[in-house]
Amino acid sequence: MTTTKHCRQCGTCCRKGGPALSREDLDLVRLGHIRHDQLITIRCGELGYNPGTDRLEPVPVELLKVRGKGGGWTCLFFNEAQNDCTMYAHRPATCRILQCWQPEALLATIYQNTLRRADLINPNDPILAEIERHEQACPGKLFTDLLTEADNPENVTRLTEMVRADLAIRDDIAHKFGISLEMEFFLLGRPLFKQLAGSGLECVEENGGIRLERRKK
């Protein structure tokens, strides 16, 4: 049996999700190799994929990741036809470190020295106050904690309130600043209703609004 000791360009790592950015990647954004609207924020406390454990778990720090294609996780810069990277010369540090046959170096960097939204936004930009408003109304850790005990009717009520607040703030910010949906993913992260997968809850429209209920079997 042979052991792989070089990249075979199989694309497996790229299909598992875009890389998280570290402070080493700051110039990639400043120089325009990666745009803000090509990133998605995984907020502190939200569920995120940990390649070290190969499972979803609450992330202990805020992460900025390259967005996936469409509704999937495949890295936005992955060329499916050629099985290669469209920004290889300017790829993030995580991609440069990655050696699938010897992952120890990459695993040692998980959650270390990560970029945050505030690192990429002018400190005088009024959008920072809107981000803070969203964080106060919809904290990622609280949402994840409530999801773990979604059988409790009181928790479902609180989750419903948070999902409604999340959508209301997104709509308000979109109207105030005229931002695109892609930019919204950078500024506010994933909508809370998108994070219900696997919880047994689903959004139901009701009188022009929404509520959460247990998914029917």
How far, in Å, CA of 48 to CA of 56, rounded? 5
Residue 95 has pLDDT above 80, yes or no: yes
Q: Which of 15-24, 84-93, 150-159, 206-215 has the lowest mean pLDDT?
A: 206-215
Residue 190 has pLDDT above 60, yes or no: yes
Label the pairing between strands 47-50 and 55-58.
Answer: antiparallel
pLDDT for the residue 103: 78
Rounded percentage of the chain residues whose pLDDT exceeds 90: 68
pLDDT, tens only, 144-155:
999 999 999 999
pLDDT of the residue at 114? 95
- What would the pLDDT profile of 7-20 be if each residue is shown by its tens digit? 777 888 889 889 99
- Kindly report, residue by residue over 114-164, the tens digit of the pLDDT: 999 999 999 999 999 999 999 999 999 999 999 999 999 999 999 999 999
**Rounded Cα distance, 58 and 69, in Å:** 23
Q: What average pLDDT does the structure give for the chain?
A: 91
The predicted structure's pLDDT at residue 210: 87
| pLDDT at res. 208 | 79
Question: What does the pLDDT read at residue 3?
Answer: 60
Residue 61: name the closest of 120, 147, 140, 131 by CA.
Answer: 140
Banded model confidence at residue 217, pLDDT cuts 50, 70, 90: low
> Partners of 202 in the beta sheet?
213
What is the band of 36 on the pLDDT scale with cuts at 50, 70, 90? very high
> What three-state secondary structure class fits 106?
helix
pLDDT at residue number 1 = 39
Average pLDDT on 166-195 reads 96
Do the Cβ atoms of 203 and 193 come closer than 8 Å? yes
Within 108-152, residue ranges assigned H as helices are 127-137, 140-148
Query: Tokens 């010897």 identify what position?
Result: 102
